[in-house]
């Protein structure tokens, strides 16, 4: 029965993610072509404001498209399990954990595909766009790319090694955060949607506050006094710090995902309150 739930969920959710992916791909291709054929700024140009506005608008629009997918998956979970459709879903010969599990797997898969596509599109567009935003000396441009790769955790092989598994876990964690927030919101007698949104903000704020205590001390201890130290920071310190962030996030999100999953399952099993 779990296999049937997974197949049904996948077939019912593919249209919106496919549309979002198509729009993202088309927009990224258009921006990449523009920046590829755009003229490089002359040495006297400090900043090409038009190209900067275009690149910033592209980033904001693409990120907003990705957010639409998250909102769609959250609304689908709410409508399927906590509105009129829930009366049918909860009469199926399956346990609550199967319903949550099937939706989590499919939602995490779509989020992972979306984020992976976004990453694969953003990086080449950024590589083409950055030299067209302002005039860079060859050494300055290499430093910009070094800072960019350091912020992701090092070279391309290292980024792929650490980022891919962390991205999978993060997508599962994100989906379960939505589901746990919606489940908690159903415990309220009135304004359940608003309560779910507030629960999501509360859970996200709590997790962000707690994790900052683990990550910030490592950065506050770094002091740069000379330019050569800054180069060493971006080549050695920053990648090492990002690797520790990946590893810490990986295991902490696995633990938190388990907590959120069992919380959602317990509410659905013991405190089901349909609209």
Q: Is there a domain that residue 275 lies in?
A: no
Flag the least confident range among 73-77, 81-85, 196-200, 229-233.
229-233
Residue 257's pLDDT is 94
Q: Is there a domain that residue 56 lies in?
A: yes
Output the average pLDDT for the chain.
83
Q: Which of 59, 232, 239, 220 is nearest to 143 (CA)?
A: 232
Q: Is there a domain that residue 144 lies in?
A: yes
Question: Range of 206's domain?
Answer: 2-270
CA distance linking residue 5 with residue 136, whole number of Å? 54
CA distance linking residue 182 with residue 22, whole number of Å? 29
Residues of the chain with pLDDT > 90, as a percent, come to: 41
Q: Is there a domain that residue 253 lies in?
A: yes
- Reported confidence tier of residue 42, pLDDT bands at 50, 70, 90: confident
Tokens 């003229």 sit at which residue?
A: 39
Model pLDDT for residues 132-183, shown as the tens digit of each residue: 888 777 666 666 666 666 555 555 666 666 678 888 999 999 999 999 999 9
Please state the domain count of the chain: 1
Q: Is there a domain that residue 247 lies in?
A: yes
Q: Is there a domain that residue 245 lies in?
A: yes
pTM comes to 0.85
């Amino acid at each position: 029965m779990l296999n049937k739930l997974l197949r049904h969920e996948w077939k019912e959710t593919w249209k919106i993610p496919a549309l979002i992916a198509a729009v993202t791909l088309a927009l990224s291709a258009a921006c990449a072509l523009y920046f590829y054929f755009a003229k490089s700024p002359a040495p006297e140009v400090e900043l090409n404001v038009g190209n900067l506005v275009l690149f910033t608008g592209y980033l904001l629009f693409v990120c907003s498209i990705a957010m639409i997918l998250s909102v769609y998956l959250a609304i689908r979970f709410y409508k399927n399990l906590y509105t009129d459709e829930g009366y049918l879903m909860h009469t199926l010969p399956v346990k609550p954990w199967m319903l949550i599990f099937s939706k989590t797997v499919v939602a995490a898969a779509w989020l992972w595909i979306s984020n992976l596509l976004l990453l694969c599109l953003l990086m080449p567009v950024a590589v083409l766009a950055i030299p067209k935003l302002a005039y860079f000396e060859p050494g300055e441009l290499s430093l910009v790319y070094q800072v960019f790769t350091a912020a992701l955790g090092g070279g391309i092989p290292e980024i792929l090694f650490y980022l891919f598994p962390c991205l999978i876990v993060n997508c599962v964690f994100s989906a379960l955060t939505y589901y746990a927030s919606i489940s908690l919101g159903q415990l309220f007698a009135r304004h359940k949607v608003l309560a779910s949104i507030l629960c999501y903000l509360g859970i996200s704020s709590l997790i962000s506050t707690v994790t900052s205590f683990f990550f910030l001390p490592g950065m506050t201890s770094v002091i740069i006094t000379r330019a050569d130290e800054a180069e060493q920071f971006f080549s050695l310190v920053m990648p090492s710090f990002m690797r520790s962030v990946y590893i810490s996030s990986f295991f902490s999100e696995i633990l938190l995902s388990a907590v959120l999953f069992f919380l959602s399952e317990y509410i659905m099993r013991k405190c089901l309150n349909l609209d």
